[in-house]
A and B are shown apart, each in its own frame.
Chain A
Amino acid sequence: GAVVSQHPSWVICKSGTSVKIECRSLDFQATTMFWYRQFPKQSLMLMATSNEGSKATYEQGVEKDKFLINHASLTLSTLTVTSAHPEDSSFYICSAYGAGGGGASYGYTFGSGTRLTVV
């Protein structure tokens, strides 16, 4: 089945630094990547949607200059949290939507998530 590899699984960084999270689709082409954030005891909140080769579309209230998304290829999308602060500490999850060989369609495949702690 479709697999999305997300790295790192957890990261601790100092306030003011930047952190990059990668999501790779291993056996299919992710034409669209969705990025979610989840705070403890809360649901997944959609942050942004990116299509390969295009600028990301951000949900209302999400700072696009703080959360930089790059989707330069059909198998790789990255989220960079710039100038991270403790309030950015959260669980970040990517979800890829795309197609594979033979015209197979893959639904929403989630990465394993990244636990970000900003100290």
Chain B
Amino acid sequence: QKEVEQNSGPLSVPEGAIASLNCTYSDRGSQSFFWYRQYSGKSPELIMSIYSNGDKEDGRFTAQLNKASQYVSLLIRDSQPSDSATYLCAVKRNQGGKLIFGQGTELSVKP
């Protein structure tokens, strides 16, 4: 079982719709979770971090964490073509503080 798993996609949504991205992790003791966006050929950029169960909102983005289910999700409201990218879920290992990434979900927002 991979440490961090995501659906690879591609996920295609129309402009203005809600995009839902999901991630599961295997280490029940993990405490810190991150969502990154990566455009082709570029380095990842941080969208949000979440540490507590529940929802965390930042503009059009909402991260959801359920530690009991070992599940993290990212919702993008009012999706725009500029949101088309690969979204990476990352989990911080308790030991050593290493950030482990899922395989990423490719999102395509169609005008």
Residue numbers of A with Cβ under 8 A of B are 6, 32, 34, 36, 42-46, 49, 57, 91, 93, 95, 97, 107-108, 110-113, 115
Contacts and interface: CB of A to CB of B under 8 A. Distances in A.
Nearest to B36: A110
B21 interface: no
Interface residues of B, number: 18
Given A43-B88, A110-B43, A111-B43, A49 B103 contact: no
A96 to B, nearest CB: 11
A46 B103 contact: no
* Residue with the greatest number of chain B CB neighbours at <10 A, chosen from A42, A44, A113, A115: A44
A95 B101 CA distance: 13
A107 B49 contact: yes
A44 B101 contact: yes
B90 to A, nearest CB: 8
Nearest to A57: B96
Contacts of B42: 112-113
A32 B99 CA distance: 12
Nearest to A95: B99
